[in-house]
Amino acid sequence: MLWCFHHIIMDGWCFSIILKDFKYFYDKLHNGVSKEKLVEEIKGDNSGTQSYARYLKWHSEQDKEEGLAYWDTYLKDYQSDVDIIPLGIAEKTAEQVMTQNFYVSQELCERIQKISKEQKITISTYLEATWGILLQKYNRLDDVVFGKVVSGRNADIRNINEIVGLFINTIPVRAKVNEETTIKELLDNMMYDSIESTSYIYNSLADIQECTDLGKNLIKTLFVFENYYVDKEAYNNEIEGFDIKMESAREQTNYGISFKASFTNDGFMNTQDNALELSIMYNPSLYCEKE
C-alpha cells in the first residue's frame, strides 16, 4: 500500500495522527473486530473531538482588517529586493527540487541551546536571525524580509493539536539593523516580533503581500523550523505480520531556495538521533552545486 497526499489536504503535523489511527484499526480488524463495531467506536470517539470545520469557522470569524493593519505597520517603509542570485549557470535537469543536508555538531548544537536559553529566545528565533544576517550580508542591506512557515495551531480550540487538516501558513519575518545594533538587540527584536505576530498569522500571505509595493516579490526565500510533535508510538512495528518503512520523502516549495531546520529524533528516517539537521532545498534549474 502506497500513501500519497497533497499538502492542501493536511500538513506534516497530521501524519503521525493518521498513521497511529490506521495501525489501531488494522490491528482491531486483524483480531476479528467487525467493521460495524469499529464504526460505532469511531462515532463515540468523534463525539468529543473537534473537527476541522470548527477551525474553519474560527478562521472566518477573525478580524482580517485588524490583522492586515498589523502587517502594514510591520512592513512599513520596506522596499528592499532581497534574493540569492545564482553565481553560475545551472545544468539542464528534469529534477524540480534538490536538497543539501548538513548536521550541526553536538558541541555547536549545545552552544546554540545554551545561548538561546540565556537570551530567553527560542532556537527557531536564533536560526531565523542567522538566516536574516546571511541575507543581509549577501545582499549588502541592513533591512531584509523572508518568509517563515508557522503551524497555525494557535487558535483557541480545544484539542486543536489532534485535528487533522491544513493549518500551516507563511508569514513575513523582518530582520532590520543599523551600525549600532547588537546581536542581543536583534535577537530580542525578532523574538518580540515573533510573539506579537502570532495573533495575526491567520491572514493569507497573498493578502499580506498586498500591504506593500513589492507585492509577490516581498518574499523570495523561505525559512522552516520543524518542531511539531511526533508520536513515536505510531512508528513502532508492534503488529505481527505488519511492517512499515519510509522509502522516500519529497518536499518542494515555489521558492528558489528554502532553508529548513529540524531535530532528527523521530526514529523514522535513517538519520543521526537527536541531531540538528539543516537543509537547503533549491531549484536545480536556477542553482547548481558548483560555481
Condensed to tens digits (0 to 9), the pLDDT of residues 69-127 reads 999 999 999 999 999 988 877 777 778 888 888 898 888 999 999 999 999 999 999 99
pLDDT of residue 232: 63
- Give residue-wise pLDDT tens across range 38-55: 998 888 877 767 889 999
Q: How far apart are CA 185 and CA 205, in angstroms?
A: 27
- DSSP line for 248-276: ------SSSEEEEEEE--SSSSSS-TT-E
Residue 267 corresponds to which amino acid?
Answer: G
Whose cell is 538561546? That residue is 116
pTM: 0.85
Q: Which residues contact 119 (CB under 8 A, 6 or more apart)?
A: 126, 184, 187, 188, 191
User: CB–CB of 173/147 below 8 Å?
Assistant: yes
Q: Please state the rounded mean pLDDT for residues 240-254.
A: 74
As given in the structure block, the three cell numbers for residue 32 are 476479528
Measure CA 208 to chain center: 18
- Give residue-wise pLDDT tens across range 28-40: 888 899 999 999 8
